[in-house]
Amino acid sequence: MLSKGGCPKTMLSIKDALEAVEGRWKLLILFALSESPKRFKQIAREVPGITDKTLSKELKSLEANKLIRREVYDTFPPAVEYSITPHGLSLEKVLDELHFWGLTHRKEVIGE
Amino acid sequence: MLSKGGCPKTMLSIKDALEAVEGRWKLLILFALSESPKRFKQIAREVPGITDKTLSKELKSLEANKLIRREVYDTFPPAVEYSITPHGLSLEKVLDELHFWGLTHRKEVIGE
């Protein structure tokens, strides 16, 4: 990538990936759902500080990006549950690399 | 990460990493510098659409994050050159993963 001088096409896919995870909430929501499928109220409890309105918006965006799935169960009253998809789980390696690089970065920039 | 349910500390380093690369310009500037050290005007030419003011701001931020180095040569008139640091080059693996995942993501979301 950097050693070959990145091209605009490479940039496009990197931008796609960054947009799918960036912002304050998306990863926190994915982390919460990575344990088990959850209902709206459960997620809201596990992502401290998020408002219902923002959570609802973020869930829609994650669903549109196929990172999570929304399932409606035919019970009374109907139950709605959110779960992480295989595509969402495929973020694992990206997050690992970001995590490790972030650790080095913190050491490099702060710890001198 | 996702399989273990991410923790807030993990989140912090991921956030550090995302902040270092996110936005419209940082990666394009790093790509330009990955070929060879360059002067301000050269970078400006190779990053289409960037204004001098924004480029100057972004270079300062990249330098503060130790991803690039600014060197002043003792010539007349003094020449200033920017180059990518080893720490900047260490982003390679992160960018690779983002790139590959971004490609899959595009196929998953658009190509159905």
User: B64 Cβ partners below 8 Å, 6+ apart?
Assistant: A109
The CATH fold of domain B8-109: Arc Repressor Mutant, subunit A (1.10.10)
Residue of B nearest to A3 (CA): B34
Q: What is the per-residue pLDDT across A14-58, written as a single tens digit (0 to 9) for each?
A: 888 998 988 889 999 999 999 899 999 999 999 989 999 999 999
Mean pLDDT over B73-79 rounds to: 91
Is the pLDDT score of B55 beyond 80? yes
Choose among B65, B82, B64: nearest CA to B73: B82
What pLDDT sits at residue A4?
Answer: 62
Q: Does B112 touch chain A (CB under 8 A)?
A: no
Best mutation site among A13, A36, A65, A104 for testing chain B: the one with the most B CBs within 10 Å? Answer: A13
Identify the three-state secondary structure at position B79.
strand
Highest mean pLDDT pick, A65-69, A90-94, B46-50: A65-69
- pLDDT tier at B2 (50, 70, 90 boundaries)? confident
Distance CA B93, CA B28 (A): 16
What pLDDT sits at residue A111?
Answer: 75
Q: Does B34 touch chain A (CB under 8 A)?
A: yes
The domains of chain A are located at 24-109
Percent of chain B with pLDDT over 70: 93
Query: What is the four-CA torsion angle of A20, A21, A23, A29, rounded to 10 degrees?
Result: 110
Contact flag A30-B2 (C-beta cutoff 8 Å): yes
CB-CB neighbors (< 8 A) of A3 in chain B: 34, 89, 92
Residue of A nearest to B61 (CA): A109
What pLDDT sits at residue B8?
Answer: 66
What does the buried/exposed string (b/e) look like for A40-56 if buried means 16 or more CB atoms within 10 Å of the residue's CB? eeebbebbeebeeeebe
Q: How many residues make up chain A in this entry?
A: 112
Is the pLDDT score of B57 beyond 90? yes
What pLDDT sits at residue A5?
Answer: 58
Contact flag A5-B87 (C-beta cutoff 8 Å): no
Mean pLDDT over B83-101 rounds to: 94
Dihedral of alpha carbons B53, B55, B59, B62, sign: positive
The CATH fold of domain A24-109: Arc Repressor Mutant, subunit A (1.10.10)
Is the pLDDT score of A112 beyond 60? no
- Residue A101 token pair: 């690089």
Q: What are phi and psi of A14, to 5 degrees?
A: -65, -40
Residue B73 to chain A, least CA–CA distance (Å): 25
What pLDDT sits at residue B6?
Answer: 61
- pLDDT tier at B24 (50, 70, 90 boundaries)? confident
- Burial class of residue A98 in the structure, from the number of CB atoms within 10 Å of its CB (0-12 exposed, 13-18 middle, 19+ buried): buried
Residue of A nearest to B15 (CA): A102
What pLDDT sits at residue A8?
Answer: 66
CB-CB neighbors (< 8 A) of B87 in chain A: 104-105, 108
What pLDDT sits at residue A6?
Answer: 62
